[in-house]
Amino acid sequence: MKINTITFCNTTNVGAALQEYALQKYLQLKGHEVKVVNYIPDIMKRRNSGWSAILSSIGTRQLLKGLMLLPVNIYKKVKYIQFSKKFIVLTEICKVAGDIEKIEQPDLYIVGSDQVWNDELTGWEAGYFLRFNTIARKAAYAASAGKDELSTAFMEKLKTNIWDFSEISVREEGLQKAFAAIGISCVKQVLDPVFLLPREHYESILIKPKVKNYILLYEAEVNENCILVARSLAVSRNLKIVQINRINNRYKVDRVYPCVSPTEFLGLVKYADYIVTNSFHAVAISLIMEKQFWVIKLEKLFSRLESILKIAGIENRIVSDSKPDFTDIINYTTINENLMSKKKESMEFLDRLTE
């Protein structure tokens, strides 16, 4: 079957890149011909531009910071372009939904995963709702709205944008329940695409870091508890703190990686002794790699993390203070059983969709 997927591409977000890769790779391994639509609407082009931080700066201090980050952003962009060229099969560039009509049409379009239905990110861009002329079937896999609270007005608008989908699956339980609340009860909750591939696959493409004996600190959102937990753990275990951050101007750590590719990110997670994070995909890869980790609670947009931790059965890894019980070791026997059950459901959804 010929399949085109639509998600966030041309990005320098590690989670976006890994889920983009994982869905395509899983479907390819099933024998399908799969391309990612190289869909880059203006709103996402501006968001992913290395100039965006500069152009949005207000005041001299912010402007200087933006200029400092520009070389870092460009270097990171180069790494992601290299990753995409090596691992992703793309269509021609499509700047508007109408352009998608002009490329070779598949048998099936799949939108997802990631926050493709977050209107604050995408501005209801038609391509993310497959609003273009095609005779191909339409479906969603692990789509996310990226919000903790979903209003009835939002859900009704979403409903009108995806009325012709043959199948819908979402990443978060909250979005599934929101669909049910407006009368759509056939929506499935599935795992993020990164869970579709086994650990061994990621181990085969990762880049092993040179650093050893470390705690990996990775923040999707700045939270002081992250560094406090990492420092407490570092002292108790006599380990270094390694941070992934574009520019470290807040915390004193042993080493900063300002620009990592997706394959370097996989390596840093794989070889870390512990991970301290508030990132969904850092948690996801940690679970796949069977790592010891702690999740720092976010004030908002935390439902996606709560959802995957609930599926795994380890909500107790969420900490809201700086000194969790470091003797509490994750036992992956039960966790793997929980994840495998959901993984089976997710694979069955895709297998039915692509019959």
Sheet order of strands, 255-257 included: 255-257, 240-244, 214-218, 274-277, 293-296, 318-319
> Per-residue b/e over 146-171, b at no fewer than 16 CB within 10 Å?
bbeebeeeebeebeebbeebebbbbb
What is the pTM for the complete model shown?
A: 0.93
DSSP element (H, E) containing 34: strand 33-39
pLDDT for residue 70: 79
Whether the CB-CB separation of 225 and 238 falls below 8 Å is answered with no
pLDDT tens for residues 198-229? 999 999 999 999 999 999 999 988 888 999 99
Is the pLDDT at 59 greater than 60? The verdict is: no
pLDDT in tens, 62-116: 666 667 677 888 899 999 999 999 999 999 999 999 999 999 999 999 998 889 9
User: What interhelical angle do 60-87 and 262-270 show, nearest 10?
Assistant: 90
pLDDT at 197: 98
What value does the mean pLDDT of the chain take? 92
Contact (Cβ atoms closer than 8 angstroms) between residue 100 and residue 46? no
Domains of the chain: residue spans and CATH: 2-197 (3.40.50), 204-338 (3.40.50.2000)
Band of pLDDT at residue 60, cut at 50, 70 and 90: low
130: region left, alpha or beta (phi > 0 left; psi from -120 to 50 alpha): left
Q: What is the pLDDT of residues 37-50, one digit of tens each?
A: 999 999 888 776 65
